[in-house]
Structure 1
Amino acid sequence: MKFIQIKFSVKSFILKNNIHKYRWLIFDADNTLFDYDKAEKLALLKTLDTFGVIYDKNSIVETYHKINHKLWMQFEQGIVKSQDEIKIKRTTRLFEILNFSGDVVKFADSYLFNLSQNGHLLANAFEVVEKLSKTHDLMIMTNGMTNVQKPRFAAAPIAQFFQHIIISQEIGHSKPSKEIFRHAFELMKQPSKVEVLMIGDNLGSDVQGGINFGIDTVWFNPNKKQENHKATYEVRNLLEFV
């Protein structure tokens, strides 16, 4: 454990000493700046209660999270073709597990509305983004759904600090595709790739997407997962940026 801690401290030190060389910082949104896990839990429980679904309070959130996570992974891999497909499939699978017969579309839409009303930030997100905005240009790049993300961003106190917010569903391309990064570079007026840093919690969409496009990356790893990765940097607390 001591070796892991030392390795982590060195990586944090390197990032702090190199952060000045980047002009643009591209942040993922969910579970990088926004507390998506909390939003998901609150939205799910409210929707289940509204529809009168009987469920095990000790396991339902984890059950849904696994269903949702698997579908988003398949979406990033091109197996699931659209975010609308995710919306319907995750609700259908949840109903099957709960042995519940109901209107899948109405439940899915209600859940998304409830999710859009939960824009809780992760600890230190506001302070870190505010400080970074004084020295860098900032962008958000998210694979989320438009009707969920727009209300969350509009109500978020950190929105004022970002020059651009890219929602994948709006432009028809998602991370880790090169197309969404090309779109980002067009908005940024084609900076040099060495001036751009991609930051996110997902090794597949955020880190690999950045690597594939040829820019440096930060893996935000607050849960201290032990994974082999090729990210340029790794941090476990947003405060390590400042």
Structure 2
Amino acid sequence: MLNEIKHIFFDLDHTLWDFEKNSALAFEKIFHELNLDIDSQEFITTYNPINVAYWKLYERNEIDQESLRTNRLKDAFEAINYEVTLEEINTISNLFIDYLTTNNHLIDGTIETLEYLKDNYKLHIITNGFSFAQEAKLQKSNLAAYFVTVTNSELSGHKKPHQNIFQYALSLANASKNQSIMVGDSIEADVLGAMNFGMKAVYFNPANEHVSHEQIIQIQKLTQLKNIL
């Protein structure tokens, strides 16, 4: 039953904030600025799955933040057979963080959905992203005004899917489990993380990927939340 829901917790990257589009534009700017002969679209196609894989390692505490930032680039350049030095990788990594939030495209339907929900629910963010970057994304994309609280893994001391980050977020929001629901694009971090904690969850699954858990509520478009909540 979803009629008792009062608090909606959203993931940020890939759920509301279009990480793929914004990161592609950041790399395009970097390659042009550094005069690197790289097709930015080819690079981002290679980089995206590598980045996702490294984020999963980071969420499981198998690598630290610096390893995430460096090795995802190193592996992507190796995959396209483009030689770069460690110094160049560090430069690109720093520029990427600087430039990532200069573009702030949102997932289709984000504003429409938040406008629909904001009057009847308290909206919140739970993100594993780095705090300085996530705050910049929320401010520069004009999303910040929609959310009552923002929980990130650095503040809580834990990353999704760890139950402690969900407990931290609920405490910050003064919300209970039965009044709360999580919406996110990661089946492991967002959906199963929330469900194992005892919260309801909605899987944002725009690619309509097969999910073995039949009881999971799925949407392919954010605007479909209007039919659920």
Q: Distance in 2 between matches of 1:40 and 1:119?
A: 10
Which runs of no fewer than 5 residues in structure 2 stay unpaired? Answer: none
| Counterpart check, 1:70 vs 2:49 | no
Answer whether contact 2:101 2:133 (CA < 8 A) is retained: yes
Q: SS at the partner of 1:103?
A: helix
Q: Distance in 1 between matches of 2:143 and 2:212?
A: 32
Which runs of no fewer than 5 residues in structure 1 stay unpaired? Answer: 1-17
Aligned to 2:66: 84
Q: SS at the partner of 2:3?
A: helix
Q: SS at the partner of 1:26?
A: strand
Percentage of pairs with the same residue = 28
Identify if the C-alpha distance between structure 1 residues 49 and 203 changes in structure 2 by more than 3 Å, giving closer, same or farther. Answer: same
Aligned to 1:149: 134
Q: Which residue identity is paired with 1:62?
A: T
Aligned to 1:192: 176
Alignment: residue pair count: 223
Q: Distance in 1 between matches of 2:16 and 2:156?
A: 21
Query: Which of 207, 214, 219 does residue 223 from structure 1 map onto?
Result: 207
Q: CA deviation at 1:185?
A: 1.5
Answer whether contact 2:170 2:176 (CA < 8 A) is retained: no
Q: Distance in 2 between matches of 1:231 and 1:137?
A: 25
Tell me the TM-score normalised to structure 1 length.
0.85
Q: CA deviation at 1:210?
A: 0.2
Q: Distance in 2 between matches of 1:27 and 1:230?
A: 21
Q: Distance in 2 between matches of 1:65 and 1:206?
A: 19
Answer whether contact 2:10 2:184 (CA < 8 A) is retained: yes
Q: What is the RMSD computed on CA atoms of the aligned residues?
A: 1.8
| Counterpart check, 1:133 vs 2:118 | yes
Give matches, 1:152-231, under 5 Å: 152-189=137-174, 191-229=175-213
Q: Distance in 2 between matches of 1:214 and 1:99?
A: 47
Q: Which residue identity is paired with 2:17?
A: F
Q: CA deviation at 1:58?
A: 5.1
Q: Distance in 1 between matches of 2:76 and 2:31?
A: 11
Q: SS at the partner of 2:218?
A: strand
Tell me the TM-score normalised to structure 2 length.
0.90
Q: Write the deviation string for residues 105-132 of structure 1: whole angstroms up to 9, x where unpaired.
A: 2210101111122221111111111221
